[in-house]
Structure 1
Amino acid sequence: MGQEHNHGAETLGDKRLIAAIGINALLTLTQIIGGILSGSLSLIADALHNLSDAASLVIALVARKIGRRPPDAFKTFGYRRSETIAALINLVTLIIVGMYLVYEALGRLLSPQPIEGWTVVVVAGIALIVDLATAILTYTMSKNSMNIKAAFLHNVSDAMASVGVVIAGTLILVYGWYWTDTVLTLMIAGYVLWQGFSMLPKTIHLLMEGTPEGVSINDVIGAMESTSNVEGVHHVHIWELAEHRIALEAHVVVKKANLHDIERLKIELKHLLHNQFGVSHSTLEIELDGSDCVYATPNVSRHDDA
């Protein structure tokens, strides 16, 4: 029953993504046409941002489908990390788009062009409605996925940008302040770059198999060593196989014990790691006290800074 419920939720999520992709692609086309007809750089800038959103949703959808594939001989941990790779691609693309917008805005400062204010206001108003609809479609899914969260934040920022474009178009109509279009473009670009650079470190950290956020290796070692019959813990590695799936491997030094006691201790430690630190996959190598470890120099001990 649980698997059927999960499958149903994933299918619904895919349908939401497909709907979001469709309306964003249509919006992008509308904004590009409106930007060309009106001469508005900020409208074209917003269209490029929307295009990156549509592309990121496509990548997210493909990654979700790949990530569901079960482990095999080629990928023994499975394909879940494909979503993290997709997030990295999306963020790098977003940063490139932001830099391009800065370049175009600075060029427009040197060579101003007339802008049709009404076209800007109408198209940006339509964009705002579409952006809000897309954000609603992806909001629930964004809570548990870095990939979908990035797409959700993109659409929220698009909605904010659309509000700004409407304001710029209005100022052009009322006061003839054509420079507001260029300033707004720079503001959109700045927000895009800030968003991309703020999320990039977390994505790279996960791909580099860094220690999961909120997990301290010293705390993990301390909890394990406080367990009865555990003399010490070393060679500890903690990483995320994918989002929300923490893995651990460690060498555990124990007192002299028979095989039954060792198995019981392993089960106890695995339960501790799962319940206290959210470790879903743990590999423990048991060493008897006084025996030499295969690895002469442990990479992490309780006294190391992790």
Structure 2
Amino acid sequence: MNKQNHHHHEVSGKNLLWSILLNVFITLAELIGGIISGSISLLSDAIHNFSDVLSLIISYLANKLTKKAATNNHTYGFSRSEVMAAFINATTLIVLAFYILFKGIIRLFNPESVAVDWVIWMALASIIVNGLSVLFISKDAHDNINIKSAYLHLFSDMLTSIAVLVGGLSMKYFGWQSVDAILSISIALYLLYSSWGIFKSAITIIMQFTPANIEIHEITELLSKIPEIKNIHHVHVWQINEHNIMFESHIDVHKDFKITDFELVLTKIKDILSQFNIKHVTIQPEFSVVDNKQIIYKHF
């Protein structure tokens, strides 16, 4: 049986702000260094760092939005804003990865000389800045898909900066000019690999797909064992955000219950659903309603 235990973690906005400021600085430094040195891998890292800045700003704004209270016009509040931020950040990474891959392949077949000292020093600076940024938000990244996407930006950029440093040292001491293009291609492939999971998770929530850890048939089988229940149909399971799973369905009962009697059945239903970390439950009880009895049925 799939079970989850989540607690909502309060994200530190101050740490996000520090990470934004650090990455604005290193982006400008690497951009200048990449232009001066002619290094495509350093420019790729600068572009990646710029995407870090954007992702952190988006994450910061989303974190602020999600704390706003629900209203009559926004009955769920803005809790899904962090999922949207994660989607935007992951999409940005994927687009950048394809761009870097394209530039790296071109440079592989048309190598150019690179001012390696700039590459080495800028890569070192980027490692330090991204390392600090990773430390700032690492605690918040465990339980928040929004911060996790920003963390992935920063951590992957720290790794790519290490790769750029290795490439710079290889060019300086061994004369391997092609390593610049090879590193760019490797960075792009790594970005595609690392961002796909968050992209897929965000899409699952935005499109209201059933969460990956939930088996609807397992749930309906358990609910069907409740003696008072005759049939379960029109089942929908989805997420508002990464922490809150919603469940709704129609429940046919064997006899005509009083509302107070059905509340006892509802308690049994909620107890079973809580095992799947489902806390928000909407049930439509039915006794003699004629409708489609399929478990999954699009009725709108």
Aligned-residue Cα RMSD (Å) equals 1.8
Give the 3 Å change call, closer, same or farther, for CA 193–259 of structure 1 in structure 2: closer
Which runs of 5 or more residues in structure 2 are unaligned?
1-7
Q: Which has the higher contact order (CA 8 A, sep 6+)?
A: 2
Q: Does 1:135 align with 2:131?
A: no
Q: Amino acid of the residue matched to residue 115 of structure 2?
A: E
| Per-residue deviation, 1:134 | 1.1
Mapped partners of 1:198, 1:240: distance in 2 = 17
1:277 is paired with a residue whose SS is: coil
2:232 is paired with a residue whose SS is: strand
Output the TM-score relative to the length of structure 2.
0.91
Q: 1:63 matched to which residue of 2? A: 62
Q: Does 1:224 align with 2:223?
A: yes
Mapped partners of 2:136, 2:281: distance in 1 = 36
2:220 is paired with a residue whose SS is: helix
Q: Does 1:102 align with 2:98?
A: no
- Aligned residue pair count: 289
1:115 is paired with a residue whose SS is: coil
Paired residues for 1:63-212 under 5 Å: 63-212=62-211
Mapped partners of 1:18, 1:38: distance in 2 = 30
Mapped partners of 2:141, 2:286: distance in 1 = 43
Which structure has greater helix proportion? 1
Q: Amino acid of the residue matched to residue 167 of structure 2?
A: A
Q: Amino acid of the residue matched to residue 273 of structure 2?
A: L
Paired residues for 1:218-257 under 5 Å: 218-256=217-255, 257=257
Mapped partners of 2:259, 2:147: distance in 1 = 46
Task: Please identify, of 110-119 and 77-86, the stretch whose mean Cα deviation from structure 2 is larger.
Answer: 110-119
Name which of 281, 284, 292 aligns with 1:296. 292
Q: Does 1:259 align with 2:259?
A: yes
Deviations 1:62-120 (A, max 9, x none): 11111122222222222111111111111111111111112222332344322111111
Task: Please identify, of 228-237 and 37-46, the stretch whose mean Cα deviation from structure 2 is larger.
Answer: 228-237
Mapped partners of 1:110, 1:220: distance in 2 = 56
Q: Amino acid of the residue matched to residue 159 of structure 1?
A: M
Deviations 1:146-166 (A, max 9, x none): 121121122221111111111
Mapped partners of 2:101, 2:37: distance in 1 = 20
Output the TM-score relative to the length of structure 1.
0.89
Q: Amino acid of the residue matched to residue 158 of structure 2?
A: A
